A = this chain, B = another copy of it.
C-alpha cells in the first residue's frame, strides 16, 4: 500500500532502529544514544515518542504478537483433525519466527526475563495464543483422536516447551540453520504420545492415519 508520506514516521524509524540494536546487542548494551544516533535524532527526542527505554522495548514486540493473534484463526480455519491442526500451529508459528527473527528474538531472549513482562500487553496476547492449543487438545480428546485421559494443559506444556526450546536454541546458535530441519520427525515423535492408542498407527510420514494399522519397523 502507498502511504501519503514518502518517509516513514519518526516513531516507526525509532522502532525499527531499536529493534535491530536490541536484537543484535541486547537491551542493556544498547544505549539510548546508540538508537538516537542511528535514527538521526538527539537522545531527548526519543522521549517525545516513548515514556522511557523500557517502554520502547515493550512496544516493539507488541505489534508482532498482535499480528500473530490476528492471523491465527484464519490459519486454522477449515483444517480438519486435531493432529492436522497441531501440525499447522507448529509450522505456522515457526514460520512466523523465521520471518520476523528480530521480534521473536526480543520476545525470547529479552522480554521473558524482564520483570515487567507479565504485566504487558504482549504477555496477555501470548496467553491467548497458547489458549488456542488448550482448545485443540480438548477437542482431540473428545473426538477420540487423542488419548481419552489426556490432560490438555499437560500436552500443551510439552508442545510449547518443545517449541520454545528449539526456538531458543536456534537463536543461541545464531540462526545458523533452518528451524524446519527434522521438524517432521520431531513433531511426530512428540505428538505420537498424545494419540489415542485405540486408533493409532505408528505412522511417521505425515499421511493421515485411518483405522488400525500395525506397523513393524524391523
Contacts and interface: CB of A to CB of B under 8 A. Distances in A.
Interface of A: 25-26, 28-29, 108-110, 112-113, 115, 117-118, 147-151, 154-155, 157-158, 160-166, 168-169, 172, 182, 185-186, 189-194, 197-198, 202, 204, 207, 210-212, 214-218
Contacts of A194: 189, 193
Give the oligomeric copy count.
Answer: 2
A218 B144 CA distance: 11
B115 A189 contact: no
B161 A165 contact: yes
A120 B202 CA distance: 42
Given A113-B109, A166-B161, A189 B155 contact: yes
A26 to B, nearest CB: 5
B212 A151 contact: no
Contacts of A211: 198
A217 B148 contact: yes
A172 B113 CA distance: 9
